Structure 1
């Protein structure tokens, strides 16, 4: 159902069984997949490519031009996957250049007032809390959770199964499977409760804890901690994920909680 009070550009491609409520605004060069709901006063702007089963709430703005001085007015892309919930006043910018992309995966929940800047990539099943602000070119891996009011500096990475507590600000990478807290942001332990609820067995959780004990609690350098992990902890996809994340960190990882 498309309300006669909504504006839908004739060149927009709208899938089957899509509800577009009064006063929604859909520009040209937009693709909306099947079974989506676009609520009142939401704006879906040029360059947005949306999959199926998404729900976009009031006053959200998707595909806004990037807040980046390098942007020269090119036609660029925001890609949104399937089955996402995008709540009120969320803003997501499209990419700065044609070669780039801003991307949201599948099954994410973006709460009220979230901002996601240009060229950021959000994985699958992520939760981003009220008022969190994600700068450009960040990467949030699958299953990451940001509580309310989190601020990420440009280019930061967040590992899978990581939880960042409310109000944290980070200009460093935040490794997988941990809880991050405080300001300045610090390592606060592993995300054991969430992992256990989602089927991680005790042995895997224990090995993840041992790995982070080497990194954060053994008073040694990060290269030496990595060496000890490789020598002392059974290799698994989870341990490999930790090591790969550290190896590819350009900003460095967050520090230890010293309380």
Structure 2
């Protein structure tokens, strides 16, 4: 490797940053003024940590992530059940954490809070203990997830929305700003309100995700059976199994409904 390339791979660490000698810092990492990095932290290549960021606990961060000023990652959970056990935050690659984002490590020995790749957490968002977040998720300003929430891929959560503990949010769904989410949100839908209700299919999001038109038509039928037919959940699932053309998306929709632990978010005409 040439001297120039080796220089490019070296980490750039501000002299005021406080980094425990036991922390593992990858190549090409940038760490800004007054950042604090704990002893059990692993930071992947190319990640940028800006001023006053704190990363603590057993936290593992992937490559090319960005942490904006005053983010707090891997701190103890805000959970009275937590007794100081060893638990984790695991973050994938290329995710962005804007100002004052907080991500808590898990409650429970060897448990984890996990975030996937290519996510965007806007300013002041909160990810609580034991949350599992997929890829390409966007949380808008001041949105918050309570403990044990599951968010599948390509979900958009609007500003100041709040999600109750143990709720599951299906992939390619969208939640409106200020929404109060207390039950599971099926995949591919739009939910809004206090409490949140499913108001329609996320047609624009499905199109942008490259889901074929014929599959979108079947998902529209599924939405109508679930929310417009007057059938209960079990009856709606049975009708979908009989009437809908099979696809990966339809099968995922059905699987989500069968495993909805907190009940499904109601529709506007329920």
TM-score > 0.5, shorter chain as reference:
yes
Asked if the contact 1:2/1:20 (under 8 Å) is kept, the reply is: yes
In the alignment, does 2:177 pair up with 1:166? yes
Report the equivalent of 2:4.
Answer: none
Q: CA deviation at 1:196?
A: 0.8
In the alignment, does 2:21 pair up with 1:23? no
Asked if the contact 1:150/1:168 (under 8 Å) is kept, the reply is: yes
**2: CA distance, partners of 1:94 / 1:188:** 34
Q: CA deviation at 1:99?
A: 3.2
Report the equivalent of 1:228.
Answer: 239
Q: CA deviation at 1:156?
A: 0.3
Report the equivalent of 2:13.
Answer: 2
Asked if the contact 1:77/1:98 (under 8 Å) is kept, the reply is: no
**1: CA distance, partners of 2:233 / 2:35:** 51
In the alignment, does 2:160 pair up with 1:149? yes
Q: CA deviation at 1:68?
A: 1.0
Asked if the contact 1:186/1:254 (under 8 Å) is kept, the reply is: yes
Asked if the contact 2:138/2:154 (under 8 Å) is kept, the reply is: yes
SS of residue paired to 1:53? coil
Q: CA deviation at 1:211?
A: 0.5
Q: CA deviation at 1:61?
A: 0.1
Report the equivalent of 2:210.
Answer: 199
**2: CA distance, partners of 1:156 / 1:196:** 26
Gapped regions of structure 1 (runs ≥ 5):
none
How big is each residue's C-alpha offset from its partner over 1:62-85, in whole Å with a ceiling of 9 and x where there is no partner?
A: 001011111110121000110000
Structure-to-structure mapping, 1:199-218, within 5 angstroms: 199-218=210-229
Report the equivalent of 2:44.
Answer: 33
Q: Which TM-score applies when normalising by structure 1?
A: 0.98
SS of residue paired to 2:13? coil
**2: CA distance, partners of 1:31 / 1:192:** 39
In the alignment, does 2:57 pair up with 1:46? yes
Report the equivalent of 1:175.
Answer: 186
Residue correspondences, number: 259
**1: CA distance, partners of 2:172 / 2:134:** 11
Q: Which TM-score applies when normalising by structure 2?
A: 0.94
Q: CA deviation at 1:19?
A: 0.3
Gapped regions of structure 2 (runs ≥ 5):
1-11
Q: CA deviation at 1:142?
A: 0.6
**1: CA distance, partners of 2:27 / 2:194:** 47
**2: CA distance, partners of 1:86 / 1:232:** 43
Q: CA deviation at 1:181?
A: 1.1
Q: CA deviation at 1:221?
A: 1.2
**1: CA distance, partners of 2:193 / 2:131:** 24
How big is each residue's C-alpha offset from its partner over 1:106-128, in whole Å with a ceiling of 9 and x where there is no partner?
A: 00000000011000000001000
**2: CA distance, partners of 1:200 / 1:252:** 26
In the alignment, does 2:142 pair up with 1:126? no
**2: CA distance, partners of 1:96 / 1:220:** 39
Considering only aligned residues, what root-mean-square deviation do their CA atoms show, in Å? 1.0
Asked if the contact 1:142/1:161 (under 8 Å) is kept, the reply is: yes
In the alignment, does 2:258 pair up with 1:247? yes
Q: Please identify, of 92-101 and 48-57, the stretch whose mean Cα deviation from structure 2 is larger.
A: 92-101
In the alignment, does 2:83 pair up with 1:72? yes
In the alignment, does 2:230 pair up with 1:219? yes
